[in-house]
């Protein structure tokens, strides 16, 4: 890594439109250029130019299906980069906003997906519960204990890969760390698959379902308030 290379990477994200694209893609799904253009409030041609730069830099990957071109974050390492940068921003003063915008922001803070794992107060609550029940240790960074490994194997075994099993991710709303890595992705997929956590609309926000509250209490062995 050289200083010019780092400066070029920083310059790529030092643009409101490209930053908006990356934040939208933190939901882990594939978007079309038109969808991202509408999200950022720019013309489709403008969006295409920005997407070319992000793909060329390796921050996004693209896939063509029929007449459509889809883009997504190139991998979890890119998602962590975006989320970590957001977590280091100073808290913004609360501007006058519409009720709809305020409601959406509150939903994201309560619970959301950070690429493929849980974030917000829900993600932090899950992480805290794993530590309280002896399944996660933070003594020397994030690590599953032997009991945690057995618990995860019984829940949703993780496929072998070069991706770290466990890593911490600094939450930009809670300002605390939540569980990421392959284990975090596995837990998130399991909870959504069971119907205990559900997406709110088409964005990143998620919530605990009525059936999910009691299920999470039993699963994590804690009486935390699962109210996301």
- What is the model's pLDDT at position 171? 84
Q: Tell which CATH classification among 3.20.20.70, 3.90.75.20, 2.60.40.10, 1.10.10.10 matches the domain 3-74.
A: 1.10.10.10
Q: Where are the beta strands (DSSP E) in the chain?
A: 31-32, 60-65, 68-73, 112-114, 117-119, 136-137, 143-144, 167-170, 177-180, 197-199, 206-208
Write the pLDDT tens digit of every residue in 18-67. Answer: 999 998 888 878 899 999 999 899 999 999 999 999 999 999 999 887 77
Task: Select from 83, 113, 101, 93 the least CA-distant residue to 175.
Answer: 83
- What is the model's pLDDT at position 1? 65
**Coil, strand or helix at 119:** strand
Task: Select from 68, 65, 11, 8 the least CA-distant residue to 44.
Answer: 68
The answer, as to whether pTM is greater than 0.75, is no
Tell me which of 36-50, 82-96, 169-183 is least confident.
82-96
Based on its alpha-carbon atoms, the radius of gyration of the chain, rounded to whole angstroms, reads: 18
- What is the model's pLDDT at position 102? 57
Question: How is the chain split into domains, by residue range?
Answer: 3-74, 86-220
- What is the model's pLDDT at position 228? 45
């Amino acid at each position: 890594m050289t200083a010019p290379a780092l400066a070029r990477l920083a310059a790529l994200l030092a643009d409101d439109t490209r930053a908006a694209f990356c934040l939208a893609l933190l939901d882990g799904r594939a978007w079309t250029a038109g969808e991202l253009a509408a999200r950022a409030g720019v013309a489709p041609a403008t969006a295409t130019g920005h997407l070319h730069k992000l793909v060329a830099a390796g921050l996004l990957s693209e896939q063509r299906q029929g007449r459509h071109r889809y883009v997504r974050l190139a991998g979890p390492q890119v998602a962590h980069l975006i989320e970590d940068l957001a977590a280091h921003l100073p808290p913004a003063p609360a501007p006058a906003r519409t009720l709809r915008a305020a409601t959406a922001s509150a939903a994201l803070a309560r619970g959301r997906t950070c690429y493929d794992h849980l974030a917000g107060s829900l993600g932090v609550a899950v992480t805290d519960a794993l530590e309280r029940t002896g399944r996660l240790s933070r003594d020397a960074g994030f690590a599953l204990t032997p009991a945690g490994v057995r618990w995860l194997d019984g829940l949703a075994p993780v496929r072998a890969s070069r991706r770290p099993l466990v890593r911490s991710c600094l939450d930009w709303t809670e300002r605390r760390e939540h569980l990421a890595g392959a284990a975090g992705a596995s837990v998130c997929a399991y909870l959504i698959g069971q119907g205990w956590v559900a997406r709110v609309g088409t964005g990143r926000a998620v919530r605990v379902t009525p059936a999910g509250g009691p299920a999470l209490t039993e699963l994590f062995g804690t009486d935390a308030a699962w109210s996301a």
